Chain A
Amino acid sequence: MPQGRPYLFFLLPCLVFLVGLAAFPTAFLFYMSFTDYLLTRGPYPQGFAGLANYLWLFTSPSEGGSYWVYSFTLTAEYVVGTVAAEYLLGLGFALLLRSQIRGKNVLRVLVTIPIVAAPVVAGLSWRYMYDSSIGIINWTLRSLNLPTRAWLGDPALALPSVMIASVWEWTPFVFLVMLAGLESMPKDLYEAADIDGCSAWQKFRYLTSPLLFQLSVITLLFRIMEEFKTFDIIAVTTLGGPGLSTTTISWYIYSIAFSRFDMGKAAAAGLLLLAILTIAITPLTRRAFKR
């Protein structure tokens, strides 16, 4: 390894990048979260607020439970539902399309198509499909004399509808990762299992699952972090509504920052989310890289 100044010199661009685009903004965000900072009142924070912004997150509004807790809980439900569905479907497709079936290559391409579309395009497409009067879903239901639904207009259905759109878009990611994992498994183990007379389920349970475990945990980690950040699909489909039924935590933080222009509270909300996710995900991360 090189010693002395030349070594540091080569590190400098990377350090500038990290400090400028990561460390400094995070530190400033941390500082902002303890200040009164209304953008409409001036370009700089107006004063020190202590823990008031954090307390506000848990006490606003005064009736019916805080929005932050509500949004976080809603997002957690959203994440659990979408990630579970993506994983099961992705793994299912990978197992199916790994085997020698006719048209395997064509099917692999078809399964991968959704991920090619930009999230905004995918969201808009689903929005039009869900439309009550001109959407293809209700048109199909009407043609079959089945009752139609207000998919994005009914508070009870809006979140599941958005979840379906998200699962449709991101299942291919899980599929590709799982397929890559399955393809890289040693074939001699399966041959030995065949010789021993193992059933398909036994092979899956005692061979495939343990071998895929680490990859599965990493995939789930990625998806959990991504789904917690979900914003684009909400922005093009429901804008957090109807009511508050799709006000995920990202959307809530965005509304504090860019509707209220209250940067102090938005910073506090964002940092609190970051802290919770870091604490929750760390054991998973350790587990993933331990085995």
Chain B
Amino acid sequence: MSEKISRRRYLKYAVGGVAAIAAAAGGYYFTQPSPSTTTSATTVPATTVPALQYSGISTTFYCMASPTTDAAKKLSKDFDAMTGLDTHVLELDWSELVAKAMMELTGRTGAIDVCVFDEVQTDMYGPYAHELRDFSDIADPKLLAMDDFSPPIVKLLTTTGGRLVGIPSMCDSTMLVYRKDLFEDEKNKRDFVKQFGYELHPPQNGDEFKDIAKFFQRPKENMYGMSDNWSTPYMVRSTGGWLRAHGGNWFEDWQKGDLTPTIDTDPMRMAMKDCIWFLENATPPDILSFDNALVTQQLATGRSPMGITWFSSMPDLHKPEFSKYYEQFRYGVHPLSGNTGHMGWFIPKDSKHAEAAYKLVEWICSPQNQLTFVQFGGTPFRTSSISDPNILKVLAGGGPWAPNLAEMGLKNLDTAWSCPHFTEYFGWEDFACKWIARILGKSVSIDEGIKGLQKETEDFMKKLGYI
């Protein structure tokens, strides 16, 4: 028979339980980043939606787990409070998000109201059965300040048919990151001039990139010249810069709709030779397993003094708890050609609450809310951000590196290349990455690999009717 609990003991347990829950809730609440009350330089009306217009309406927002999403969640809560909307944010890992979004759109479930996507998917999601909303006719230029978005982003979120299907949510491209202290070290500077005959500085082109990476290749000191994302699923993007640097391209001119493969060319051969040179002389031995997170780790631990990685990853490097070199990282334009990875928000045509979803996106992306993205550890995506002192005070911890980071992040867009846009791009990228991986892993020769990729691409494009 169980012992009867006395009233006093019961009250003690109840008070203790409530106190524990209150402490946990308080701890959670007070540890959330609280944005400052400073406002962004540009001031526009908060929203055109009358108060509580969307009461009783619920929207679903698919996002990739990232600081951008944290900011979007906070902003969507603010919007909900103003308009009565009930927004559900679903955060997923990137590859899972792409597959899930494709399933929902293909199945026409109507489950998605807003979804984040990469500009390379602009033509993937439309113009077929699962079309996306064209924003050209509904986007309010004043509220969104479209001319304040970097033109390449807007262009890349526009389909080859001329439909603007994404509102920019993040501007991203790969860029050069290097350790200022190592580049300014007097001994390094003297030794470099002695070895290569010119001053040590952030590399401006492919030859300098090779020289400097080789100079810093010191395996005995556990230091390796350069790190980049060379995992198999990423091969097209990481080797594309070399191809562009040699004057080549994957296709003739995808932006004009010409998808004739131009892979079996001398620029491609030179690009592959350069990549193999890097593998043999100037990178960590395990670089073929590096994803973006590992590249950031190499820089943070000092194992690589120089690397190529994403603008959006850079704020992490300036956290003292993440890297003891947090004050030393500086940025430059990608010495070859960075790869763009802009993100946008799309709204499917079969969204049940497209108008509410659009107003939500409009609010989140408005200029006055740019600061919120930076406060949550993200990166700015409006041109005016470079000179906004409020943003520079907060970006990546607000240190002396912030103006350099903001400037270079947006400057890289001028030279960055975008992966070709066509509906089956990911299908092509999948086997292209495998071919390049085989070339770099030397299981096929450069010539065999390039000819094989050219042929398989031609067959693929012919079957799809592009050539």
Contact = CB atoms under 8 A, between A and B. Distances in A.
Interface of A: 38-43, 60-64, 67, 132-134, 150-155, 158, 238-245, 247, 255-256, 258-262
B440 to A, nearest CB: 7
A64 B435 CA distance: 10
Given A40-B426, A243-B288, 15 more contacts: A61-B435, A67-B434, A150-B284, A150-B285, A152-B286, A153-B288, A153-B289, A154-B286, A154-B288, A242-B231, A242-B286, A243-B443, A259-B427, A260-B430, A261-B426
Interface of B: 95, 98-99, 102-103, 106-108, 124, 128-130, 222, 231-233, 284-291, 297-298, 301, 303, 423-424, 426-427, 429-431, 434-435, 437-438, 440-441, 443-444, 448-449, 451-452, 455-456
Contacts of B440: 243
A72 B233 CA distance: 20
Contacts of B103: 39
B284 A132 contact: yes
A61 B438 CA distance: 12
Contacts of B99: 258
A241 B232 contact: yes
A41 B284 CA distance: 41
A258 B288 CA distance: 22
B444 to A, nearest CB: 5
A236 to B, nearest CB: 11
Given A40-B102, A42-B129, A132 B427 contact: no
Contacts of A134: 297, 301
A6 to B, nearest CB: 38
Contact of B285 (A61, A64, A153): A153
B452 A64 contact: yes
16 contacts: A40-B426, A43-B106, A60-B431, A61-B452, A63-B448, A63-B452, A64-B443, A67-B434, A153-B284, A154-B288, A242-B232, A242-B288, A244-B443, A255-B430, A258-B99, A261-B426
A134 B233 CA distance: 24
Nearest to A38: B424
A38 B429 CA distance: 15
Nearest to A153: B286
Contacts of B129: 41-43
A242 B456 contact: no
A133 B232 contact: no
Contact of B444 (A43, A63, A255): A63
B456 A62 contact: yes
B441 A259 contact: no
Contacts of A260: 424, 426-427, 430-431
A62 B455 contact: yes
A274 to B, nearest CB: 22
A39 B102 contact: yes
Contacts of B290: 153
B288 A43 contact: no
Contacts of A40: 102, 124, 128, 423-424, 426-427
A240 B438 CA distance: 12
A134 to B, nearest CB: 7
Contacts of B449: 63
A161 to B, nearest CB: 10
B285 A244 contact: no
B130 A64 contact: no
A258 B97 CA distance: 11
A243 B441 contact: yes
Contacts of A153: 284-290
Nearest to B436: A243
A261 B297 CA distance: 32
A155 B435 CA distance: 15
A241 B423 contact: no
Nearest to A127: B289
